[in-house]
Structure 1
Amino acid sequence: MKQFVNRAYLQPMFLYLSSGLAKVYMESLHEQLVLKIIPADNIVGLTSLFSGNNVFQYSVSAYVNSKVKLIDINIFRQKSFELLLSRKDFAELSGMTTETVIRMLKKMA
């Protein structure tokens, strides 16, 4: 069983479990308390995102061979970011006119 995250580990990341199966648990000297079982396509470590201290409150281990992607928490703390899609792309994805998307983006700025 491979351990992804150790409790109280300082890490500005959270995990996306893209395949496999993992457990979220807390450990004491003599026992282990499994908090939940995480199937594929789930995010682990969001509490670190909102707590502001980047410390995981629990440990995570894989039950089977798993693929995990690390996502930097600081991406979500940025006040601005570069849009990789054009306004036209947003309009086509959302079923709106380009003008409506432009108005909505201006309101959000």
Structure 2
Amino acid sequence: MTASDTPSGDALELDCSHTHLFRGARLAGPALTGPLTARRVRIVFRDGVEVDAELLQSVDDQRLAIAMPAYQTAAGGDIPAKVWHVAAATHAPTLVLAVGGRVA
């Protein structure tokens, strides 16, 4: 999987429905004018914690994944670094990504 060279100011902000990612969690962001491709993202969790991550795209089959670094929840829970498959659940009027299984 590869990530694009997107400047940090151009990170796509995604709001998470929970305090951490898991299969079934949802990420919501603004509607996109073009296709959803590899880029920097900023995940804003329900507890207010913000984490910079990478949206990756498989060279083979164009599947998307989010590479999350290790971080700490607002309650102090340590979340290890993980990579999750994601898929667009809707594109308009807003972007919604559904988190799938863990890649790593």
TM-score normalized by the length of structure 1:
0.22
| Greater Rg over alpha carbons, structure | 1
Q: Give the structure with the larger helix fraction.
A: 1
TM-score normalised by structure 2 residue count: 0.22
The structure showing larger relative contact order (alpha-carbon pairs under 8 Å, at least 6 residues apart) is: 1
Give the strand-richer structure, 1 or 2: 2
